Structure 1
Amino acid sequence: MERLVVMTVGKTHSGKTSFAKELESVLQQAIVIDQDNHAEFINYHYKKLLPKVGANTLKFSITNAVVNYATEQSNFHIILSNSNLNKSGRSNVLRFFHDKGFKSVIVYFDLPVDLLKERVLGTQRSKAIFRNASNFFEVLERQEKSIEIQPSKDESNYLYVIKEPQNTVEIIQQIRAISAPR
């Protein structure tokens, strides 16, 4: 079986986690690895270990351990659900998977910011993932100000762009088709 790594890319509340869970339910042999779960776990159990400044290296270490285990000890397709807005970071992650023989898929959520603000306003999501923000509006504002590098076709084997929420069903079916054993 040729394994896939599916990377979701987009701002907060763009639908990355919902998409990842739906894709996992459709693909055979797939697992979602979501850094928000790792952040919440750390903030609940190991808050004292969080770095005071800089990157959350503890979260990255946990994610790397889970990714390594999943790639070495399973034959699952891997669905990475987190922002991945930085091209350099995406490239490093995808290179790791390409070196292990995975085919890569990027799903870029390019939804209108007004829709994201509306979703943030009505959110029921836990704020337990935060380290440097007090709410999701603050996260969205930071993401709006940051230099986001939109994924390009040369980064992965497949690139899908979601500009409207209803596009997800079709894209899930396309990924399912490329994951089918040949």
Structure 2
Amino acid sequence: MKRLVIMTVGKTHSGKTTFARALDKELDNSFVMDQDNQAAFLNTFYAKLQPKQGPNILKHSLSQLIVHYAIENTELHLIVCNSNRSQKSRLELLEGLFNKKQFVRILVHFDIPDNVLMERIIRSRRSTNIFRGAYTSFGIAPKATS
């Protein structure tokens, strides 16, 4: 029997993690792969290794290791959230990690209007320990200093 991989895609505060956690409770034999967990772990214990800017290769590598482990050593369905990727990157991820012979691949796109997202961000109580560098909130990015 094929396993499921459900990838949620959308901007911050669009409901990806909330949906993934609710689905995990209903879908037997599954787990949620949430990159925010890796970001919080790295920022808590390995902040000095985090890049100051650009892609977070360490976070992505850790996430990829966890996914590879789950694929190779379990029979779990994967719910991959926090995947705010371009269409090309999503396709590369699906083709590279989750082949059609082994997985039924489902993409759930959260296309929430920006004004709704901004209201959610303003009211947010989510931890900001997923951020690296000068970011301190889900709101407007910090201004560059000279």
Cross-structure match for 2:76: 76
> Could you say what secondary structure the match of 1:51 adopts?
coil
Q: Deviations over 1:72-95 (max 9, x none)?
A: 010011000113331222112100
Where do 1:28-177 residues align within 5 Å?
A: 28-95=28-95, 96-98=97-99, 101-132=102-133, 133-138=135-140
Aligned AA for 2:137? N
Structure 1: distance between partners of 2:22 and 2:119: 22
Number of the residue aligned with 1:163:
none
Higher relative contact order (CA 8 A, sep 6+): 2
Which whole-Å CA distance do the structure 1 matches of 2:29 and 2:53 have between them?
38
Count of aligned positions? 139
Backbone CA RMSD of aligned residues: 1.4
Aligned to 1:156: none
Runs of 4+ in 1 over 4 A off after TM superposition: none
Identity of matched residues, %: 46
Contact kept? 1:9, 1:106, Cα under 8 Å: yes
Where does structure 2 lack aligned partners over 5 or more consecutive residues?
A: 142-146
Distance apart, 1:52 and its partner CA: 2.5
**Which whole-Å CA distance do the structure 1 matches of 2:48 and 2:100 have between them?**
35
The two structures have a TM-score, normalised by structure 1, of 0.72
Aligned counterpart, 2:144? none
Partners of 1:7 and 1:110 in 2: how far apart?
A: 14
TM-score, structure 2 normalization: 0.90
